[in-house]
A and B are shown apart, each in its own frame.
Chain A
């Protein structure tokens, strides 16, 4: 199964404080371990929310808001995608993650939906549409 691991933001990460050399080394080693175990699929750090924007969606209306955003401990500072055998394995790896920030930090682990999780709501037509969109993203983005 796949999980997304969200690294929650802190005051330091929002302030754009760069991680120390020790932390970078420790993180590097942790990612090495994940890769050597065949678990690591993807992972990135995100810039502080002041570099970002929000799009609020309400019926017909869209509203664009500039960062920074207030609720620090709800914000995401980074993510991983892991391929694990079960949630227990994900938890064990998460326990080995070096403290990503000074002070208290939080990792959130969320299993990724697989296509057949959607069951019958996901009609072949809807799936094809999703697929077409994904391909277009691939063409332009990747």
Chain B
């Protein structure tokens, strides 16, 4: 079922129930937000240049703003927009002075201008799904040759469809800072020669990994903000989840894709419980489990199960998801299956023998066995790596010391952690713990 006159993009066949003329600004924006990524993804089949495609799409949206405000939103807004954007694009290609006209572009240009029925057959063979287009777009925005900032910003803007305003708010930074990042990102795309070339079989895993990495970065920045006045940035968690769900729908046969999504669903289920009224962090052993989001937990557990049916749990994300699942299943902190958690950390450490994994594993040791055993692991970590400037090391050490009743040393360690921490609520929490330990010590020696 192909609408006449348009090339075949399955996403644009959706008809909508008719609207009165004079839609409001926010109604228009809702349509644009849905269509923008799909348009960009579809047009990227025909172009090497994301900037050109973005401009062309922006033009189409602008035209829609004007026309639809008086005529109402059409029945097939995506089809309308695509037709306008495509025509704009053809105009630009025709008038382009760029010597850079590779044969590939011309071929696609010819495809674009061919009558619908012919190009329909070709398109259907090469790119049957809007999902494939979105994935191809993700491969571009998440390309490993780009800087981390560029990858995150481009992905949120082009794939997530967020406005520059929304991205700025999500990162608690200024609009101009984000605009600069986008400019830089586009420059990098050009200088690094990143374009929509479908990866060879061997490359596909690496490409998928870079996409997962970016989604994880976005979610992680939302779950535990590295700096700034709040512990979490829920908007980023939502976006990470949304991108993860998109990816899992496009690539449901990939255990790590499912693992990443499960990890995010499970971790995000604790967002509310993770902070107290003052915005300070609440550790897992003190969290009100009644605040855990049961829908997300359910979804996470189901996805983890599906992933484990696809493959033995040896992947980076799936292992972490399994750890998170252990916590999710425990009715109270006491019921946590630390043995299983420790086993998963052992496997994680084999995959990635870093001090971050080692530290998290040490925490598991301290609960599966006892804090003294945990301290032994910390000594080994200190011998193996230089962790003196790493706040988590001192905070973990402080926690073990306080559980051992060694409050004086615990207070010192908490203070060391607080000084190194870059996140304000974290800092305040660590300082508060230092005080509590100091008081406990004073009471003990009184």
Interface, chain A (partner B; CB < 8 A): 2, 29-30, 33, 35-41, 81, 83, 85-86, 88-89, 91-93, 95-99, 114-116, 124, 126-132, 134-135, 138, 142
Contacts and interface: CB of A to CB of B under 8 A. Distances in A.
**A-B pairs with lowest CB-CB distance, top 8:** A127-B290, A38-B242, A38-B245, A92-B30, A131-B290, A88-B30, A38-B246, A95-B16
Given A38-B245, A115-B293, A127-B290, A92 B331 contact: no
A39 B291 CA distance: 23
Contacts of A124: 288, 290
15 contacts: A2-B295, A33-B11, A33-B130, A36-B131, A83-B242, A85-B33, A96-B15, A115-B272, A124-B288, A129-B290, A131-B289, A131-B294, A134-B294, A135-B331, A138-B298
Q: How large is the interface on B (under 10, 10 to 19, 20 to 34, 35 or more residues)?
A: 35 or more
- Chain B binding surface, main DSSP class: helix
A92 B130 CA distance: 19
B331 A38 contact: no
A136 B76 CA distance: 46
A77 to B, nearest CB: 17
Nearest to A134: B294
A29 B290 CA distance: 37
A134 B331 CA distance: 11
B26 A88 contact: yes
Contacts, number: 94
Contacts of B16: 92, 95-96
Contact of B291 (A41, A89, A115): A115
Contacts of B136: none
B10 A29 contact: yes
B125 interface: no
- Chain A binding surface, main DSSP class: helix
A117 B130 CA distance: 37
B124 interface: no
B34 interface: yes
Contacts of A97: 17
A127 B292 CA distance: 10
Contacts of B293: 115
B285 interface: no
